[in-house]
Structure 1
Amino acid sequence: MRLMPDAAARPDYPPSWYAASLPPLAPRAPLRGHARADVAVLGAGYTGLTAALALAEKGYRVTVLEAERVGWGASGRNGGQALVGYGCDLHTLESLLGHDDARLLFEFSREGLRRLRQRIARHGIDCDWRDGHASVPIRSRQERALRADMETLARRYDYPLQWWDRAQLRQVLASDRYRGALYDPGSGHLHPLAYAQGLARAAEAAGATVHEHSPVQRLEHGARPLLHTAQGKVEADFVVLAGNAWLQGIAPELETRMMPVGTYIGATAPLGAERARALIGNDMAVADVNWALDYFRLSRDHRLLFGGQASYSALPPPGLRGAMTRRMRAVFPQLADVELEYVWGGYIDITRNRAPHWGRLTPNIYFAQGFSGHGVASTGLAGDVIAEAIAGQAQRLDVFERIAHHRFPGGTALRRPLLVAAMSWYKLRDLLW
């Protein structure tokens, strides 16, 4: 990857190290006039682009409408950690579906990771993929829970992981904060925006058309639904809604079952190869298991990328840069002289049960949302599953549709304050238990 660490943030992307590290790309033309397609996709993030790629490779005429730029939302701003599973834990999936269907969904997620790697290799997407992820406990109860999860994954889901004690973890992670690690060599991390841009190029090479700066204003249902923009419309046999946290009135029946949540991440200045590798010797991604978690990894140009703040109030946390810097130094006290050069954030979408919410609004309008902070791999799985269903193989989507999803309580006025109150309890639990 050609990194541009000294470049200014691209004016057409929200400021971030991700955007600043990539060369600028000319914008794609917005939609103008009346277009026809077999499939129209709202949203040029991972879900929409993977669906577009899969369908175009099957011979469908696909048009993608993006309100801003490719990867402008969560797909281009996230923490970059690609993990097996979903935003909810396996116990939640089993309570929603029973063990057999939960096992199916877990196997689908494993395939999602395999396909992610295959997509990167097959299309030559230069996005800094690295293997390995560690979930790290701070408290004894968290260690017990992780060890129980490891046993469940091995015995009931045929997914063996590695337990590292404190001494073994300390050999590759220069922090005394954690009691050990549950290490997954099958998960990993990547450059999110580079991956999104690579997916768009692959979809276009397969025959899909991507229009940027084309916000959808209205969805018109019917035998051939239409997506309307300010300057045109796309008529199609099928529509895929992949706007996630950015639907903004297009499908109110979906938005009541999803909540946008702000998440934030920072990047230090380059530390130099020796100092960076002294922090994380094996280049893995790391996340603790607090409800309000910290997560971190290294970049190719030897920065520490550190995330951990979240806002459930629709406003950035006060003193964001200082708060994130303090959290980073609590993990790595040896970075007392290091500041965060970049701090950025954006919305992810969560469901009440943190389980994926994928399915059909009507027989010809498909959607996927509710990735709940676990979307780097599962968004691509969603795109593939929806593409299969449009092509007539809906068995996998049918399993996801069996998950019951409820509206957030409180209606439009109160649902966010109620969520803020609930999250305050979970943060307090992190501190006390």
Structure 2
Amino acid sequence: MSQTYVDSYYSRTLADDHRRPALEGEAQADICIIGGGMAGLATALGLAERGITNVVVLEEKQVGFGASGRNGGFVSPGYSRAPAALIDKVGTENAKALYGLTVEAMDIIRRRIEQYEMPCGPLVPGKLNISWFDRPKELKRNIAFMNETFGTELEFWPRAKIRELYLSKRYYDAIYNPNSFHFHSLNFTRGTAAAAEKLGVRIYENSAVKSLDLKGEVKRIATAKGVVKANQVVFCTSGYMGWILPRLRLSILPIGTYVMLTEPLGDRLKTAMRGHHAVADNRFAPDYYRALPDTRILWGGRISAVTQPKNLEALMLGDMLKVYPQLAGTKVEVAWPGTMGYTTHKMPLIGKLEPGVWVNTCFGGHGMCSTTAGGETVAKAIAQGDDTYRLFEPFGLTMAGGPLGPLAAQTVYWYWQLRDLMKR
């Protein structure tokens, strides 16, 4: 059965509704990419731009069906693992190189949007990380560290400025990144798919992988009605991966997160928000949101590793009203869940698992930019023999807890929620 997108702001505002066929019969390819989200499509487009176009992408449902088409739409450099923690693990120079890959990816994303005329705008500049805690010196130290070490251009915005733009008593000072932006993530994902197809990549939807044979020079990837024979395979499945490759699946912790869309607020929006930046706070599990051009609010937050909330709309609305009580009475148009793939080290899995088998997955809630960095890294390795992927070798496969992993993650989330409460 053909699978449609979950009901969301993004699926309601698609630039096109083009469907792609399921794989039937045998297909020969140089590269088979499993997973048609941003990571897989960025890899496919990166290969095609380097002249490798005999590429097949297999997507279980629709391109961008998972986290790539359900998120907050924030595009910013970095990974889920904090930059200071990167340095602790790999040293300053390698940490700067890893972070630099995502800075380069920002330029690649902007270039592709323009070059391939992707209808994912407007690209609204700027991201604010607003503090729930009265600790301006801590924010200033962080800004100085990032600007001096990683060459960023972060700015300190005092609480007076913040509370003029975002009228909440919850907020204090903020870190502003002028180089980040937000956009329509599902239209960007679909635009990336269309760009890859124009260069010769074949994409098949509703084509879940049922079995694998990765031995030998030619790999065999079977779906319900077809088979791909390829010289190399790239896994890009993240939190939606099944058990077709258990050693990879055991390194992935699927984490649920949630987003809602309010009704248009008209002039009421200005009683709460007068800025149009991407906004997140600095708690362990933050709220993240943005005002849309039509005065609706896209509001995300919460994580769950065990069960999905049943009263999702009410919970998400309650989170927003804790920050902006003046918006009481606002109606929710739609709320939706999504699943992210996390690793225990909070870095993506990027690199070679064995000869001819690659991975580019698990971006853990920070993927709209870093998926492109991963796609470029793998594409350069395959097409040009580049060894940049070795920067990610310290962050390889690690056991994510097996069947008890979700329960452990949920316990950690509750612990950090308590820590956030104690910090206030």
How high is the TM-score relative to the length of structure 1? 0.93
3-state DSSP of counterpart to 2:165 = coil
- Please give the per-residue CA displacement for 1:249-303, whole angstroms capped at 9, x wherever unaligned: 122111211100001000001223x444564434110000111210100223321
2:220 matched to 1:226?
A: yes
Q: CA deviation at 1:28?
A: 0.8
Task: Show the 5 A alignment for 1:205-220.
Answer: 205-220=198-213
Paired residue type of 1:380: T
Deviations 1:383-409 (A, max 9, x none): 111100001333221111233552123
Q: 1:86 aligns with which of 76, 79, 82?
A: 79
Higher deviation after alignment, 15-24 or 336-345: 15-24
- Asked whether 1:341 is paired with 2:333, we answer yes
Query: Distance between the aligned counterparts of 1:335 and 1:179, measured in 2?
Result: 20
Deviates more, 1:326-335 or 1:257-266: 326-335
Q: Identical aligned pairs, as a percentage?
A: 34
Q: Where do 1:390-405 residues align within 5 Å?
A: 390-405=382-397
Counterpart of 1:428 (choices 415, 418, 422) is 418
Secondary structure of the structure 2 residue equivalent to 1:59 = coil
| AA in 1 matched with 2:345 | N
- Residue 36 of structure 2 aligns with which residue? 44
* Residue 294 of structure 1: aligned partner: 287
Counterparts of residues 61-210 of structure 1 (less than 5 Å):
61-128=54-121, 129-141=123-135, 143-210=136-203
Amino acid of the residue matched to residue 157 of structure 1? F
Contact 1:82 1:377 in 2 (8 A): yes
2: CA distance, partners of 1:149 / 1:254: 34
Q: 1:238 aligns with which of 216, 232, 237?
A: 232
Structure-2 separation of matches of 1:377 and 1:176: 31
Q: How many residues align?
A: 419
Structure 1 portions without partners, runs of 5+? 1-9
Summarize deviations over 1:180-215 as a string: whole Å, max 9, x none.
Answer: 110001011111111111111111111111111111
Aligned pair partner of 2:241 in 244, 247, 271: 247
RMSD (Å), alpha carbons? 1.7
Q: Give me the whole-angstrom Cα distance separating, in 2, the residues matched to 1:415 and 1:316.
A: 16
2-side partners of 1:279 and 1:152: how far apart? 32
Q: 3-state DSSP class of the match of 1:171?
A: helix
Cα offset, 1:247, TM superposition: 1.7
What's the CA shift for 1:175? 2.3
Q: Secondary structure at the match of 1:354?
A: coil
Q: Residues of 2 paired with 1:11 and 1:23: CA distance?
A: 18
Structure 2: any 5+ residue segments left out of the alignment?
A: none
2:153/2:178 contact within 8 Å kept: no
| Cα offsets for 1:1-29 (capped at 9, x unmatched) | xxxxxxxxx97111112101225614211
Answer yes or no: is 1:371 the counterpart of 2:366: no
Query: Is the 8 Å Cα contact of residues 76 and 193 (structure 1) preserved in structure 2?
Result: yes
Structure 1: distance between partners of 2:259 and 2:46:
31
Which one-letter code corresponds to 2:132 in the other structure? I
Contact 2:139/2:156, CA 8 A, preserved across alignment: no
Do residues 327 (structure 1) and 319 (structure 2) align?
Answer: yes
Q: Indicate the larger mover: 292-301 or 180-189.
A: 292-301
CA deviation digits over 1:160-180, x for unaligned, max 9?
311000111123223232111
Is the partner of 2:132 in helix, strand or coil? coil
CA contact (8 A) 1:97 1:403 kept: no
Q: What is the rounded CA distance, in whole Å, between the counterparts of 1:302 and 1:227 in structure 2? A: 46
Runs of 4+ in 1 over 6 A off after TM superposition: none
Q: Does the aligned pair in 2 maintain the 1:93–1:355 contact within 8 Å?
A: no
Shift of 1:95: 1.7
Distance, in Å, in 1 between the alignment partners of 2:417 and 2:343 is 18
Deviations 1:361-391 (A, max 9, x none): 1121111122110001001111111100001
CA contact (8 A) 1:163 1:181 kept: yes
CA shift for structure 1 position 318: 4.1
Residue in 2 that maps onto 1:55: 47
Match of 1:19 in 2: 11
